[in-house]
Amino acid sequence: MSPSNGIKVLVCSSTFYPPKGGGVISLRAICAGLANKGYEIHTAYVGSEKDVAWKSHPQELSLLMRGMWPRIWEMDRPWRRVVTDLIDSEKPDVVITQQDVAAPTVAACRSRSVPAIILLQGVDVFCLGGFRSGRPWICSYKCVGCRDSGGRLWQYPFFRAEVGALREAFANADAVISNSAFTSNTLEMLWGVHSLIAFPIPKEPKLDQNFGLGQKILFYSPVAHKGVDVAVDLADMMKDEHFIFAGGDADRRVVRRIKNAGNIENLPWVSNTDSLYKQTKVLIMPSMIPEGFGRGLVEAMRRGIPCIASDIGALPETLGSGGDIVKNYHDSREWARTLIKYKDPGYLAEKSKAALKESKRFSGLKTVDQVSDVIKNLVLAHN
């Protein structure tokens, strides 16, 4: 019998089912890996649909606020009650939580003496505006007048009300697992909390499909902080190339630019990303804010697709030699000069080979083993 048999894990996340977004997809993969090891998985999330994969506890909360920090503020008290009730009824041995419900979840766990693990999926929880300057280590939390606040300055009262509770949660959690060295270092520099590094688990490619043979350039999430203006500029400058924009969240101004470009296929959110990768020769990630990882890079590299990414956050760490990094990532012309190199079949083939090699650094089995070891150690320590 596996030592993990009989250990009950409650997983708390505001979004979980239906799955959408890299953090949720990775968390679900971790749950699947733990279940395969014999753990009993329970999940709690905001929603009405039952997730039949595990013993799920969807919560139909009436949330009225919009925006990241108002939503965190609004969820604090009701979510703490939800987790407290679930701990009392389901009696989990350990609780795993992440991002915007981390603070109330850890508070509930402390009130019931249940060990809590926080999965840190990025650095946006530290900053009102997501560190648009790209330098999170200099933050002094003087948000008014700071250009990092950007369009979120209206959320400042909610941010100030909740960031202290979130900081306390990270200090009080029994373990913190970060998704990259960049994220881990940022947590330690800002809040003095040490964390284990375990890479997220991207989607695995299907073995019977061929990738890296397409002729299109793929870009995810056409919004400002993901670098949509740079991506559209590239399409305007390179009319002989065909671009796919996937995500469908563009605002009206961007939608007009996309339509006027004439060589951009704008698609909604798709769960079957393999259909996109089969058409792709290069993935671009012109992010304007420090990404905590770069899941799309790994997914592409696993399919032999090289990537071009901004020199910010964990993107260089994730990409390695599997493509090119753009130093002056605000300059669309530098992106164009980099992308032109991939017109050379020899260069494309060389980077495709390097991408496959780099992708081997990211093992879902290793990540699940790391999380499993943390759980076992905490359960032993609390018994």
Each residue's pLDDT tens digit, 302-346: 999 999 999 999 999 999 999 999 999 999 999 999 999 999 999
**β-pairing, 8-12 with 94-98?**
parallel
Of 54, 64, 66, which Cα lies nearest the Cα of 16? 54
| N- to C-terminal Cα separation, the chain | 19
Same domain, 158 and 277: no
pLDDT of residue 136: 63
Measure the CA–CA gap between 130 and 292, rounded to whole angstroms. Answer: 11
For residue 254, what are the domain limits? 216-359
Measure the CA–CA gap between 178 and 153, rounded to whole angstroms. Answer: 27
Residue 209 inside a domain? The answer is no
**Cis peptide, bond prior to residue 104, ω within 30 of zero:** no
In which residue ranges of the chain is pLDDT below 50? 1-2
Measure the CA–CA gap between 83 and 42, rounded to whole angstroms. Answer: 12
Contact between 12 and 44 (Cβ < 8 Å) = yes
Same domain, 134 and 227: no
Same domain, 15 and 92: yes
Name the maximum alpha-carbon separation found in the chain. 64
Residue 2 inside a domain? The answer is no
User: What residue ranges in 94-143 does DSSP mark as E strands?
Assistant: 94-98, 116-120
pLDDT of residue 2: 47
Q: Which residues contact 163 (CB under 8 A, 6 or more apart)?
A: 126, 141
pLDDT of residue 1: 35
Same domain, 225 and 156: no
Neighbours of 302 (CB within 10 A): 21
Neighbours of 169 (CB within 10 A): 24
Same domain, 260 and 182: no
Contact between 332 and 237 (Cβ < 8 Å) = yes
Same domain, 92 and 168: yes
Same domain, 229 and 107: no
Same domain, 371 and 326: no
Total number of domains constituting the chain:
2
Q: How is residue 102 written in tokens? A: 């981390």
Residues shown for the chain = 383
Contact between 219 and 281 (Cβ < 8 Å) = no
pLDDT in tens, 214-264: 899 999 999 988 999 999 999 999 999 999 999 877 888 999 999 999 999
- Provide the CATH number for the domain around residue 376: 3.40.50.2000
Same domain, 246 and 291: yes
Residue 256 inside a domain? The answer is yes
Same domain, 108 and 34: yes
Residue 208 inside a domain? The answer is no
Contact between 106 and 172 (Cβ < 8 Å) = yes
Measure the CA–CA gap between 123 and 378, rounded to whole angstroms. Answer: 25
Same domain, 369 and 335: no
**β-pairing, 8-12 with 323-326?**
unpaired
pTM, two decimals, is 0.90
User: What residue ranges in 259-381 does DSSP mark as E strands?
Assistant: 264-268, 280-285, 307-310, 323-326
Same domain, 189 and 293: no
Q: How is residue 294 written in tokens? A: 């770069």
- DSSP code of residue 113: T
